[in-house]
Amino acid sequence: MTKLFIKTIIIIWAVFIAFKYFTNLNADSTDDPTSLSTEFSDITSSRKTAITRAIEKVSPSVVGINVTQLKRKRGNLQLDPFWGLYYPKDKVYQVESLGSGAIISEDGYVVSNAHVVEDAHEILVTLPGGIRLNAELVGSDKLTDIALLKVDESNLPFTELGNSDDLIVGEWAIALGNPLGLFDVGYEPTATLGIISGLDMDFGLKESGRVYQDMIQTDASINPGNSGGPLVNSLGQIIGINTFILTGGGYSTGSIGIGFSIPINRVKEIIEELKKHGKVERDFSTGVHVQAIDSYLKQYLRLPSTDGVIITDIEKLSAGDKAGLLIGDIILEVEDQNIKSHTDILRVIDEGFKKVGDFVTLTIWRDGNVIELPLELADRK
């Protein structure tokens, strides 16, 4: 009985001590409003990170792009009442499309994808806040899928272009733009966050006639409408232009975390050409005519193999003539890539983003010897 009484007294005493402790703790907190204010300030400041600062910095320069395209469709045959002949009547109709862009100078230059503004009849650029401006197409380069627009405004917010040669796989990446036309709802760009998933991703020459080489891969969500918008690093610099995604196939057309951006260093080169000339001149001529080598030609000419293409003609005073090429030379490689046909040569030139005035290195087999010759891509006159 005595033991039970002692235990009860100890328990009551422990409860009393605990009650006094927590009462004093609460009183101290209530009596010191500075501690509450400091705690609230710490929480607020911790919400602001390098990511939120980068988004805040870049967002004012991100625009939505609305494009009206004119498409032609072959109609049914109609009878000409005067000549009694049937002729096809084309139908012209409008198609509305959308995309994104980034202001890159205070005088109104906007960079986007060429496929966003392809066949554009009218281009409208929506600034953050909802102001809409007509945009002029300064020029576009289909091969690299880069377009440069211009709006007639000054003192516009713009974003610094970074260095895409200095990227690290795993660093933060932010995709900003106009997915699914949401820019027209909130008049602000949408931001999604991911990392740099891969670098130097090569897809080569596509059926569309565009070349996607050295692409930046990211898992930041990119959806229809994001094309042409900026990919940004945590410093608030544009490191790429969001261009396309891979989907899960079937009925899936949205992001599955595999998106690709054109590296900004390539964009810099192209927009300078577009500013100066309105296009990148890729209509070159070499004056060299070639033919694939089959087993019969190999046997007839006693060639070592069917590798390469044989030069069958060279126009006088052409780039090929000036390079020292001869009829009968066999082109084995162009830019260290094996050649089997004329189209292989064009593919290598396109995938190297070569333009008029650039040189390519040819590896030639001539009289049993292998030599290298530089060939200029001359202007077609």
CATH of 164-277, picked from 3.30.990.10, 2.40.10.10, 3.60.10.10, 3.30.590.10, is 2.40.10.10
Per the annotation, the verdict on 37 as an active-site residue is no
Give me the catalytic one of 61, 97, 145, 344: 145
Residues 6+ apart with CB under 8 A from 32: none
User: Is the CATH code 2.30.42.10 the one for domain 284-379?
Assistant: yes
Give me the catalytic one of 227, 261, 329, 344: 227
- Tens digits of pLDDT across the chain (381 residues): 555 556 566 666 566 665 665 556 555 555 555 655 666 666 667 788 999 999 999 999 999 999 987 766 666 655 555 555 555 666 666 677 889 999 999 999 999 999 999 888 899 999 998 899 999 999 999 999 999 999 999 899 999 999 999 999 999 999 999 988 888 888 889 999 999 999 999 888 887 788 899 999 999 999 888 999 999 999 999 999 999 888 766 444 666 788 999 999 999 999 999 999 999 988 888 999 999 988 888 888 888 888 899 999 999 999 999 999 999 999 999 999 999 998 899 999 999 999 999 999 999 999 888 999 999 999 876
Q: Where in the chain is the domain with CATH 2.40.10.10?
A: 61-151, 164-277
Sequence length of the chain is 381
Question: Which tokens sit at 372?
Answer: 């290298």
Phi, psi of 158 (to 5 degrees): -140, 165
pTM of the model: 0.77
Rounded CA separation 133/110 (Å): 12
Question: Which tokens sit at 265?
Answer: 């260093």
Q: Where in the chain is the domain with CATH 2.30.42.10?
A: 284-379
Give me the catalytic one of 115, 197, 255, 261: 115
Per the annotation, the verdict on 227 as an active-site residue is yes
Per the annotation, the verdict on 145 as an active-site residue is yes
Q: Is the dihedral of CA 350, 355, 361, 363 positive or negative?
A: positive
Rounded CA separation 372/361 (Å): 7
CATH number of 61-151: 2.40.10.10
